[in-house]
Every structure is written in C-alpha cells, then in structure tokens.
Structure 1
Amino acid sequence: MAERRPNIAAGRLGDANYASNFNDIHPPLDDHEALVESDRCYFCFDAPCMKACPTTIDIPLFIRQIQTGHPETAAKTILDQNIFGGMCARVCPTETLCEEACVREAAEGKPVRIGLLQRYATDALMAEPGHPYERAAPTGKRVAVAGGGPAGLACAHRLAMHGHDVTVFEARPKSGGLNEYGIAAYKTPGGFAQKEVDFILGIGGITVEHGKKLGQDLTLDDLRKRFDAVFLGVGLQGVNALGAQHDDAAGVEDAVGYIAALRQASDLARLPVGRHVLVIGGGMTAIDVAVQSKLLGAEDVTILYRRGPAQMKASPYEQDVAQTRGVRIKHWVMPRKVIAEHGKAVGLLCEYTRETDGRLAGTGESFELPADMIFRAIGQSYVDAAGGALLLEGGRIKADAERRTSLKGVWAGGDCVAGGQDLTVAAVDDGRRAAESIHQFLTA
C-alpha cells in the first residue's frame, strides 16, 4: 500500500466553501416557476402519482390549487394527509414514488416536479401566522408517545387535533428524529427541521419531555399505567456490525452518528474529516455521509457495495448526486479486514463478490484501498426497549394495518415496526394511521 498521507483534520476548506457546499441542493420554485410547472400537470382522474404516495396526498388537487393561485389551500390539502409535507417535499424519494408514476414521466421522461410544487405550497403556508388546524373539544384522555420523530409527532398532532392530551417522550435534546439528526444538511438547510417541529406543535395540547428514553428513563409498563394509550415511535437505535477484522480500529465510525454530529455542528469548519474516506453500504445513509464527506473537503471518497447498482437501496438519482459530486461507487465488493497501524485505520482489504443463483459469495480475488476514515452505513437494528413485552417479527415490532401491537392499548409505527419502508413519508403515514385507531379506541 502507498505511504499514508495526512489523515483526519478539520478546517480543510475556507468559510465560503462550506457555505456554498452545504447550500440548498434544490432551490425553491418562485411564483412564476410554480405556475409554469403546475400547468404541466394533466390532472389525471385516476392519478397514478396519488397511488404511489404512501400518504395518498391528492396530488392533482393540490397542483390545481397552485395553478389557480391558492398555494396555502394547496398546502392544507397536503398537510391533511401528511403533516410533515414540508420535510417530505425536501427528502422524499419522489423520483421512485409519485414522480416515477407521473404520466409525463412515462410519455416524455420528464415528470411534473411534484416535490418542488409541494415545497412551494407548504413553505407558503408555514410563512403565514397562526396554525391551520384547531383542536377539538378536550376529551380528557391522555396518550403517551415514545419518540419525537416523524411517526411520533405525526401521531401526536392528529391526536391533539381530536382533542386528546399528548405527552411526547424524546431521548435526545431536540425533537424531529432523523429529520433533525439523520438527513444530509444540504437537503434541509436553514434549520427547517426545527421550524417544522415548532409548526406541528403549534396546534397545542402536546407536551414534549426531552431526555426521556424508553427502556432507560421510562418503562412501557409505567406508561401503560399512567396513560390511556401508548404509541411507540422509537426508531432503530442499534448499529449493524461491519463484520470485518479490526473493525474496532480508530477511524472506523458509524455513519449515522457522524451525520448527527454534522447536523448539530455550529461550525462545519471544526468537524474533522479524512483525506481518504471509504463508506460501506448502499442506502441513503451511505450516500449522505459520502457526499457530505466530500463537501467537507475529503480528497477521495468511495462507496463500497457488495452487489450491483440495481440492488442499492439508494435510488439511481441519489447515486447520480453522489457521483456528480466526485464520489466513486464500487459495486460487487465487500470488506474483509481493516488495515490498522498502531490501532488506527490506514486502509481496507476488500474482496470482489459475485451472485450465483441469488446467492452472494466472494470470488477469492482481493485488493486494498487506503483510508483515513471508514464509515459503517450498513443499516440499523431495533433495540427492544419494551423488555420483551411486545411480539416481534423479523427483529422489529409486529403491528397490524392500524399499527396495533400485540399489547392492548399500545400502538407502534415508523422504522421500529416490521415491514416498513424506512422512509419519512411512511413513518408519517404510520403515525396518522395509529392516531386514528387510538382515537377510535379512546372514544368507543
């Protein structure tokens, strides 16, 4: 292996570079652009885009409302189905959901830019004073929500709208979950995640207690005794192991933790990054940590994925985002050993892979790559904070279509539930579904 170059350091770029590198990746539409884009919609009666949306937003209706000059009304159409419509407009993989299903995509290869139109509408409404929703008369019922991420807050908002009193218990200092701690900074600049949280809480009837973690500061039994119903939106807290020799060497880091540190950094120039960065994984977290490492000043960034591009969880669009920003993606490789000197990572021994009859195996041919930092982005796992009280399926909480768990009076949603899509929009749908089920349970 070539001689190791200077390794991990902060302040690799000038202040102006950080500002431009982490600027909004998708600048918002202005009034004229929104009008032109809305004119492209065919307003399909049996709209395939609406069927492709996990929260079944009436997309043709809200685009028509934008076209007729009523973006705030359009936003209400969106938020009725998805109270996190502003964030989902920024981070939802529209290219594989509503926009992929768009008739213009099939006919012309250029879909209506639904995500940007959704952002245009929701931004307009959030800029207005007041809150678009009012609480129903108080019911006297109290609901506990464990987890202040998209699933938990979507559930809390809908319950508050029905007149129930909600207490959200969040382990971290801020609410928002992965919207605040786990999404690339260039997708949500300007502190939008917290602005949206404040907007959602503006309905009233929701109390948030930070620094309260289920299984540590709280127990499920205690919540069930104190509240009339419980919703669990605790996400995934475990980090999958790399499975390579010496993966405990200094310089081998969890991608989720690094992104969280980046999102909370007051000065990006103080965040250290390596010159040679390797990322193990093929999902959105891998893309986000790779691109942001490059934007922080890393010289070489390479994503290593064990299968081909079609099997990557990150969409082709996101893969293009990475590659156009100088990130290399090497497919059909897997890590075998972290090469360490004096306890610090200096490289990675990898093996080429191939798939035969659906089974992945190494070819026996290996190679080495230099590395100052190696990020694990190979997924997370559910940590059972309920003490074995809930039935699990595939390592996550088993819940039905209404997000009821195996315990009466306990619902769950988001990434901690089996069979989910691990998307913000899907977590919001879980929270809304659970809230309606809880409301029926409480008022029966």
Structure 2
Amino acid sequence: MRMTSPDIAAGRLGPDLLAQGFSDIHPPLEAHEALVEADRCYFCFDAPCMQACPTSIDVPLFIREIQAGNPVGAAKTIFEANILGGMCARVCPTETLCEEACVREAAEGKPVRIGLLQRFATDHLIEAGRHPFERAGQTGRRIAVVGAGPAGLSCAHRLAQLGHDVTLFDAREKPGGLNEYGIAAYKATDGFAQAEVDFILAIGGIKLINGRALGRDLHLDELRESFDAVFLGFGLAGVNALGLESEASAGAHDAVAWIADLRQTRDLSDLPVGRRVVVIGGGMTAVDAAVQAKALGAEEVTLAYRRGRESMNASLYEQQIAQTRGVQIRCHLAPRRILAENGHVRGIEMERTRLVNGRLEPTGETVTIEADQVFKAIGQQFRLEGLEPEAAGLALEGGRIRVDAERRTSLPSVWAGGDCVAGGEDLTVVAVEDGKRAALSIDAALRNAALTTPEQAVSAPAFAAAAR
C-alpha cells in the first residue's frame, strides 16, 4: 500500500530512531531475573491466575519449574495447554487476565510478571530446537483445517498429536494469520511468528498449503467429501467501513491492511506515513496502528473514539503505551466527514458525543482535525468471497458462525473457532483455546464413529492410543 499525497512520505526517521521505535516492547528476562521473579509467586492452591487464563495454563506449576531451574519442563507445562504459548506471552493482555487475577496484584498492586516468565520458558525450548511432544500412532483419519492463524494452528497441532493427518490451508503466502500480519511489529520481533509456526509444524503429520482461500479455491462441500472432518478458522476477512464522504480518498484506508503491509515491509524506511495521522477506533488494532505511525515518524497522531476511555476495548495498559509514545487519545468524537482536496485526505470532521441515560447521543457540535492519513479501525466482519454461509448450511449468530461449547457448527463434520465464530473475544489466546477444544471434539467424534462403524474407520485400539 503506497500513498501518493505529498504529505505522505517514506524515510521520515533515520535507521537508529526506527530501530528504537520498533524494538521489542518487552525485552526478555535474563535467567537471574526469571529466578527472582519466580520467587515472588505464592503458588496459590486455588490459583486465580490459572482460572483467568482462557487456555487454563497451570501457572503455579510452570513458575515452580522455573524456580527449580527447569525451564524446559516449564515450557512443556505451558505448551500442553497452549501450543502458541510463546506468542501469547508476547501479545496477551495479561494485565486484564492472569496478572490482574494475581494475589500480589490485589495485595501490592504489583503482580508476578507471568507473561514474561512464560516467554522465558517458551523461548528457551523453541530456541533449543526441541519439540516437546510426539505423535500418537497414526489413525488413518484426515482432517482439513482452513486458516493457519492461531485457531487453525492450535487445532492442527492437537489433531496431529493425536495421530490424525492434517491438511492446513491458508489464503495468504505465509501462515500465522494475525500473528504474522496483524500484530504490532514491536510486539513480535525477529520473525518470531514464523519461528513459532515452524516449531508447531515440527510435530509432523501436518501438510501446509498456502494461497488457497475458502470460497475461491476451496469449497466446503468438497472438503466435507474429501476429509473426515473440517475445521474453519479463517478469521474475519472484511473490515467495517466508516460510510463517510470521501472515504475512498488517498490516505484513507483500513488499519488492518496497513499493519499487514508494515509487517511484510523489509525496510521500514520505505514505508510512507503522513505528518498528521488520525486513527478512528478504540481497540487493540487502533492502538497498534497509532503507535506504529508515530514510530515511523508521524509528527502528530490522534486516536479518536466515539465513547469514553472506560469503554475502549484496548486495555488501560495499551492506552498508556500509546500515550507514552506520543499518541493523543481524544474521546467522545464520532467521525462525520472526511475532508479531501484533489483526491487526498486533508482532515476529518468529528462530532462530539455524550452519554445520556447510558445511551450515546450526538451533540451537534463539530470539531475538525487536520490529517494527511485517516485509518479506520472500527472492527472487522465475517465475509468470504464466494461463500454463502446459509446456503452451505452454516447457521450464523450476530454475523458470525454459530458454534456450541465444543466448537461444532450446525453442519455435520464441520467445526469452527477463532474470530469467525459468534461469542468470541477476538483474542489470540481465546482462538488457541477454540482450536484445542475443536480438535478434542473432532477426535472424540471420530473415535466414536470408529466404535460404531468399524468397516469405515480404523480400529478402536488405535483411537484409544491416540486419545491418551
């Protein structure tokens, strides 16, 4: 994505400042620091931190293993619950999950740094080039997993571990989903997303096919005929539009695509950015876009949100990151009109809002913010070219795929998880849990089928071995 406006240019900062702005936001702990931090854990019997983790990682156990000088054991404990524990240690909002639930947070306002301890352990094992698990005996069953993001990778790995053969399809050139294309570069540095994918695939039994999109190259009915089960984990392809005048002007575009472009740019000094940038939205994507625009050299970056700070999906911690890096957060401003001149963005007209009896209302008062670039980060939507969910037999709920507690869809032999399903929290760690739950459900369904129709399946002992 390259801009043509004279106020949008590349190379605003030198290499040293660029490196500083995109350096690892949470440098890893040294071995001694990890031991000191592990000593702070109370190893609570009821472990509220574990209860707060969507993947139910045994936090006290892995911290105790670090304390005992066994980071490999700690990593295995983590990976048993969350095979993407390395990325989750980097991008999870631990401040609102495990660390918020930490007893030391309640007692002292300073929780055990669980996320950094998790990264210490998982990095140790990944860098050692050792995969902690082995495949069970092959079952002869074949499963198609559509989408190589967190949900799909989690599902594929658990199925392969249970002995099934998995074909993993992804529409993009690289696997990883939002871990590769959608996370701020300063959160996952040094090509970690691909290193983690390589680690996951090292278990064997997973065939990765890139450049194949559902609805374009793949068709659900054909997948159901060719495979014993199908898992859908393709995320959200559509980006919500602002619906404003001049939205198609140069310099007005969606934050998700811009972040993906940034993540795939080899030389950040080649990536253009405006002098004055406005980001519309209040979630993690909005913060990531705003902070990275500032890191590329934008002189003024404003994050505008239609409600108050307390309603932003981005955590207080993420908001603080934005502010400490020079982003101005302005609330109770709703976009009304993009101002353009000669086809290029020149500003955005906002209307002040207020809460009346709990409802957001416009005030009629407008504010104009000068801008060379306007990013929309107001959420994504379920949309796949060539796929009509209802026609395919997939029931929807709230515009996404409806699933039950085991991530089964309304269509027999089809499961789904991650951002594309209803009720999700749009978090990497939740997508990982979805994939894991679906894999266990798929395995159970195939095992039950083997017991009832032995002529069409492998033997029951094979499935019993795979389940152990």
TM bucket (normalised to shorter chain) is: over 0.9
Alpha-carbon distance between aligned partners in 1 of 2:6 and 2:299, rounded to the nearest angstrom: 11
The aligned amino acid for 1:53 is C
CA offsets 1:163-183 (integer angstroms, 9 cap, x no match) = 100001100000000000000
Aligned position for 1:189: 189
Deviation, 1:60, is 0.5
SS for the counterpart of 1:209 is strand
Deviation, 1:6, is 5.3
Alpha-carbon distance between aligned partners in 1 of 2:171 and 2:315, rounded to the nearest angstrom: 31
CA offsets 1:217-269 (integer angstroms, 9 cap, x no match) = 11100100000000000100011011322212111011000000000001000
Aligned position for 1:222: 222
Aligned position for 1:413: 417
Aligned position for 2:168: 168
TM-score normalized by the length of structure 1: 0.98
Aligned position for 1:381: 381
Indicate the percent of aligned positions where both proteins have the same amino acid: 67
User: Any residues of structure 2 matched to 1:203-218 within 5 Å, and which?
Assistant: 203-218=203-218
Is residue 36 of structure 2 the alignment partner of residue 36 of structure 1? yes
Alpha-carbon distance between aligned partners in 2 of 1:198 and 1:386, rounded to the nearest angstrom: 33
User: Any residues of structure 2 matched to 1:30-429 within 5 Å, and which?
Assistant: 30-384=30-384, 385-388=387-390, 389=392, 390-429=394-433
Deviation, 1:107, is 0.4
Deviation, 1:16, is 1.5
Alpha-carbon distance between aligned partners in 1 of 2:255 and 2:33, rounded to the nearest angstrom: 36
Q: Which moved more, 1:243-252 or 1:218-227?
A: 243-252
Is residue 439 of structure 2 the alignment partner of residue 432 of structure 1? no
The aligned amino acid for 2:414 is V
Q: Which runs of 5+ in 1 are unaligned?
A: none
TM-score normalized by the length of structure 2: 0.93
Q: Is the 8 A contact 2:389 2:396 kept in 1?
A: no
Alpha-carbon distance between aligned partners in 2 of 1:133 and 1:276, rounded to the nearest angstrom: 50
Q: Which moved more, 1:276-285 or 1:10-19?
A: 10-19
Alpha-carbon distance between aligned partners in 1 of 2:403 and 2:102, rounded to the nearest angstrom: 31
Alpha-carbon distance between aligned partners in 2 of 1:127 and 1:402, rounded to the nearest angstrom: 33
Structure 1 residue ranges (4+ consecutive) displaced by more than 4 angstroms after TM superposition: none
Q: Is the 8 A contact 1:246 1:339 kept in 2?
A: yes
Aligned position for 2:446: 442
CA offsets 1:130-189 (integer angstroms, 9 cap, x no match) = 311100111000000000000001000000001100001100000000000000000001
The aligned amino acid for 1:77 is T
Alpha-carbon distance between aligned partners in 2 of 1:302 and 1:435, rounded to the nearest angstrom: 42
The aligned amino acid for 2:338 is V
Alpha-carbon distance between aligned partners in 2 of 1:386 and 1:170, rounded to the nearest angstrom: 19
Deviation, 1:386, is 5.0
Q: Is the 8 A contact 2:34 2:120 kept in 1?
A: yes
Alpha-carbon distance between aligned partners in 2 of 1:326 and 1:197, rounded to the nearest angstrom: 33
Q: Which runs of 5+ in 2 are unaligned?
A: 449-468
Aligned position for 2:453: none
Q: Is the 8 A contact 2:389 2:395 kept in 1?
A: no
SS for the counterpart of 2:287 is helix
Deviation, 1:367, is 1.2
- Count residues in correspondence: 440
Q: CA RMSD, aligned part only?
A: 0.9
Alpha-carbon distance between aligned partners in 2 of 1:276 and 1:20, rounded to the nearest angstrom: 21
SS for the counterpart of 1:366 is strand
The aligned amino acid for 1:290 is A
Deviation, 1:387, is 4.0
